Structure 1
C-alpha cells in the first residue's frame, strides 16, 4: 500500500505562495533599481562635475518634476494655471539662487509661494491651497539648497558627499530592512520600513560620509562621522515625510518616471532633506560658501 504524503493545511500553501510572490517582486524591483541607478548616477555625477551652471539646470529640472508630481498628488495636476505659476516661480527661484545672495533668493521663494497661492485660490475648494503652497516651498527649498551647496571650488566635493551619504543610507536601509525585518519604524505612515533598516541606513551613511571626508582631505574624526550621521538621519526623515504626504492622499508612488523607484519625488525625498541639513551645517562654520564651511567643520 502506497503511503500518502502528509496533508498540508491550506494556510501553509498560501504562505509558501506568498513568499514566492514576494521573492519574485523583490528580484524584479532590484533589477529595475539597478538599471535605473546605472543610468542616473553617472549622469548626475558628470553634470555635477561639469560646473555650477549645468548642475543648476539639472536641479531646476528635478525641482519642476518634483512640484509637478506634488501638485498631481494633491489634486492640482490638471489645473493649468497653478502648474504654470509654480513652474515660472521655480524658474525664477533657480535663476536667483545661481546669481544672487541667499537672502534675495529666499525673498524670491516667498514671492513664488505667494504667486502660486493666488493661482490656487481661484480654484478653491477643488484644491487645498495649503498643500499647493507646501509643494512650491518644498521644491523651491530643494533648488536653493542644492545650488548653494555646489557653489565654489569645494562645491563638487560637498555635493558628492551629500549624494553618496543619501544613496548609501537609502540602499542599506532597503537591504537591511528586507533581510533583517523586525519592528516597524512608523507603521501608520510606512508599513514596510523597520527599525533595523533605519539603523542599517544610519551606520552605512555615517561610514560612507567618513570615507568621503577622507577623500576630500579632511581628517578622520568624530566630527566627520557625526556630520555624516546627521545627514543620514535627515535623509531617512525626508523619506518618512514624503511617505506621510503620500499616505495622506492615499497613493503608493508619486509617479512612474523612474523604473523601480516610482516618481522623481520618490527618488529625491531623502536627498532633499539631506541637502537642506548639509547647507545648514556648512553655514555654521566660517566659509565663503556652504561647501567650504562644511569641510572646515570637518577639520580640513
Structure 2
C-alpha cells in the first residue's frame, strides 16, 4: 500500500502532480468511509466488500501475469495482449469469488470441501486454463489463486472472531498499522534517504524507510494498547513493529511480481492510486500473519498479548 513515489514504487514512476494528488485524496475520502462502515457492519456488508476486492485483485493478477516479454522491444515489456489474460483473468476472478462464497454462504451449500481443498482445485483449474497461451508461465495464474484467496479468507475470519469478539478492533489495528507503516516509510525514505533496501526490486526503497515504517507501526501498537487498556504496551509495540517488516515484505513481493512482467501499476481502477493490488499488497501479508497468531493463540492476539 505504498504511495506512487514511495520507496516501494518502481523507479520509473515520477512524482505525482498537483492534480493527481487531489485525485488521490478524493479517492481516499471515498474509500476509507466505505471500508470503515463495512468493518463496523460485518456480515453481509464486509463479506461483500472483501469478495468484490478479491475478484478485482484476481483479475489484476491475471492482467499482469498475461504480459509477454518481447526481446526485440526496448521498453520494459511488450504491449499487453488482451487475449492472453482476458479469459484466464475472468476464470481467476470467478474461482476466487466461488471459494469465498462457498466459505461464507449459509448452509446447506452443496460444497463439502474445506477451504484448502477448494483453493487447491481452483489453483489447478486456473493453471490449466492459462496453459495453452502461457506454457510454463501458467503456474503464475495458479499462484494468483493462493495469493488472493488466503488473505481474503483471513480478513473474513478475523472480522468474525467468535472467541474474543475483538474482530472490529483487530481490523482497525491492522489497517492503521498498514497505513502508518507506508506513511512512515515514505516520510523517512524521502527525508533521510541512504542505502537501498532492495535496489533490484524497488530502487527507491531504503533502509531508512523500513525503519521509519517500523517506528510508525510501533506507535500504532502504543495507541492501540492504550485504547484497549488490556494488551501489554511494550509487547504490542514490538509485535506491531515486526508486522511492519512483514508488511514491507508484502510490498516488495508485489513490486517484484510487477517488475518481473514489466508493469508499473496493477490497473487503474482506483483514480490516482492505480489498482487494488497496489493499495493492499502489505495488508495481504499482515492479515495472514495476524490470522496465524490468532489461530494458534486461540483468540485475538489483542486479548492474550
- TM bucket (normalised to shorter chain) is 0.7 to 0.9
Q: Higher relative contact order by CA 8 Å / sep ≥ 6: 1 or 2?
A: 2
Query: How far apart are residue 260 of structure 1 and its match?
Result: 3.1
Contact 1:60 1:143 in 2 (8 A): yes
* Structure 2 counterpart SS, 1:193: strand
261, 268, 274: which one aligns with 2:286: 274
1:14 alignment partner in structure 2: none
- Whole-Å separation in 1 of the counterparts to 2:14 and 2:267: 24
Count of matched residue positions in the alignment of Structure 1 and Structure 2: 270
Query: How far apart are residue 221 of structure 1 and its match?
Result: 2.6
Query: How far apart are residue 212 of structure 1 and its match?
Result: 1.8
Query: How far apart are residue 99 of structure 1 and its match?
Result: 5.0
Query: How far apart are residue 80 of structure 1 and its match?
Result: 4.3
* Structure 1 counterpart SS, 2:203: strand
- Whole-Å separation in 2 of the counterparts to 1:24 and 1:252: 14
Stretches of structure 2 that go unaligned for 5 or more consecutive residues are 1-12, 68-81, 107-112
* Structure 1 counterpart SS, 2:270: coil
- Offset from partner CA, 1:50-89 (integer Å, 9 cap, x none): 1132111111111111111111111176444423322221
> What's the TM-score, normalizing by structure 1?
0.82
- Offset from partner CA, 1:91-129 (integer Å, 9 cap, x none): 2211233259xx81122111211221221224343x721
Contact 1:162 1:231 in 2 (8 A): no
Contact 1:214 1:220 in 2 (8 A): no
- Asked if 1:42 corresponds to 2:33, the answer is yes
List aligned pairs for 1:52-131, cutoff 5 A.
Answer: 52-75=43-66, 78=83, 79-98=85-104, 104-125=114-135, 128-131=137-140
Higher gyration radius (CA) = 1
Query: How far apart are residue 205 of structure 1 and its match?
Result: 0.9
Query: CA RMSD for the aligned pairs?
Result: 2.4
The runs of 4+ residues in structure 1 deviating greater than 6 Å are none
- Whole-Å separation in 2 of the counterparts to 1:72 and 1:246: 10
- Asked if 1:137 corresponds to 2:146, the answer is yes
Structure number with higher helix proportion: 1
Stretches of structure 1 that go unaligned for 5 or more consecutive residues are 1-21, 288-292
